Structure 1
Amino acid sequence: MSGLLVFITIAFLTLSSPGPGVLFTVTNSINYGVRTALFGISGLIIGMFIIAVISASGVGLIITSNPTIFTALKFIGAFYLMYLGYKNFIKKSPTQDLLETEHNEKTIKKSKLFYQGLFASLLNPKTIVFFIALFPQFIDIKKEILNQFLVLSLTFCLIGFLIHLVYANFSSIFKEKMLAGNNFSKLNKVSGCIFFLLAVLLITQ
């Protein structure tokens, strides 16, 4: 039990740290409302779970041990972050009626947010490295390994979902203040620049 508590603590600290996923959730919540942002969050979490399964299956080890595959994934992930940054940077300020969440939710296909979140998770090879490095520390080889991986993966994803839900609701609370005047345009340009910065860091590290 103590090992699980340590794992939960590490997962909480890792997932609550601002990164591409958190920025993605915050931006979506402000632009489209919490209910629509949930589709993006679902994509992020499902992608996270798929990465966990890949790591557990041994495929993740093959990917991380093959420089060509790992580098290719890293560049694909970086370019995808740049794409998200570009989309945010050029987003136009809404008219006053777009301050209403119900109207905002109609301005984008929910499936689009889902797939954006999914790809944001799947195209980040550092997530695979994280799972491969972290999970073995909490695995008891005397017990069923697959079941332990499943418990850890589901626990990690549940924590991730709850944290992103908190970020989404917190962002939505301050939505009107953020959208007032030119704040909306400034916010999207700042988030776009941060996505670009994260992409550069992903390539250079």
Structure 2
Amino acid sequence: MDYLIFLGICIVATASPGPAVFLSIKNGAKYGCGSALVGVVGNVVAMLTLASVSAAGLGAIILAFPSLHTAIKIIGGLYLIYLGIKAWCSKSVSHAKSPEGLSIFTPKKSKLFSESYFVGISNPKAIAFYTALFPQFINSDEPILFQFALLAGTFASCSFLFLMLYVLLASKLRRHLEKEKILAWFNRITGGVFVGFGVALVSSNEA
């Protein structure tokens, strides 16, 4: 029963719109499923990293020191603002076309991975999620390592599945983005969303 509750929380948390979701939507719409998949993997690796940090007890230390938690929050917020400004200022020009008429321009996959990883790893809510939620679903009378692997694997799997669903849906927009005016508006909307997330995170009064 406890696991089903945890699974429900994971589904709601990973399906809800947030920076990782909108980054996946942007990547899927602009670069297609293949390249966007790299970004999704970057986010999942970030989640597993945070889970490991939580298991090592470092997450509790971060939450115990408000100044450190605030610093992470500000860094994460500024990075989202940076991504938003970069998206807003992206040139809405046509790139080289594939035989099907779709753009074959894609950024380096390592860049997509690092962007998604940093968005995930700098999310203070994710740190709080792992630090505050995990202990509530771990039975000290049972093998800790197995329980930790199960919970972390469940959250990572949910994150991967929902982010890929958003990527697949967004990739359907790719043909329309070959039109310069539509691409310009897409860049502005996604850029505005990221700036909004960043400003909200930086100005948040949460500890």
What does residue 198 of structure 1 align with? Answer: 197
Q: Scaled by the length of structure 1, what TM-score is found?
A: 0.92
Aligned length: 202
What does residue 103 of structure 1 align with? Answer: 104
What does residue 85 of structure 1 align with? Answer: 84
- Closer/same/farther in 2, CA of residues 98 and 126 from structure 1, 3 Å limit: farther
Structure 1 unaligned residues grouped into runs of 5+: none
Q: Determine which structure has the larger helix proportion and give its number.
A: 1
Aligned residues of 2:2 and 2:137 also touching (Cα < 8 A): yes
Report the Cα offset of residue 187 of structure 1.
Answer: 1.2
Deviation digits for residues 58-87 of structure 1 (CA, Å, limit 9, x no counterpart): 100001111121111111111111111111
Q: Which amino acid aligns with 2:14?
A: L
Query: Residues 1-205 of structure 1: matches in 2 within 5 Å?
Result: 2-95=1-94, 97-98=96-97, 100-101=101-102, 103-105=104-106, 108-205=107-204
Distance 1:104 1:130 in 2: 37
Measured on the aligned residues, the alpha-carbon RMSD in Å equals 1.6
Distance 2:96 2:7 in 1: 42
Q: Secondary structure at the match of 1:182?
A: helix
- Deviates further, 96-105 or 174-183: 96-105
- Closer/same/farther in 2, CA of residues 30 and 132 from structure 1, 3 Å limit: same
Report the Cα offset of residue 98 of structure 1.
Answer: 4.8
Distance 1:67 1:5 in 2: 32
Q: Secondary structure at the match of 1:104?
A: coil
- Deviates further, 172-181 or 8-17: 172-181
- Closer/same/farther in 2, CA of residues 191 and 102 from structure 1, 3 Å limit: closer
- Closer/same/farther in 2, CA of residues 158 and 184 from structure 1, 3 Å limit: same
Structure 2 unaligned residues grouped into runs of 5+: none
Report the Cα offset of residue 161 of structure 1.
Answer: 0.5
Q: Which amino acid aligns with 1:19?
A: G
- Closer/same/farther in 2, CA of residues 98 and 81 from structure 1, 3 Å limit: farther
- Deviant stretches of 4+, over 2 Å: 96-102, 177-181
Q: Scaled by the length of structure 2, what TM-score is found?
A: 0.91
Q: Which amino acid aligns with 1:153?
A: A
Report the Cα offset of residue 97 of structure 1.
Answer: 4.6
Distance 1:188 1:81 in 2: 14
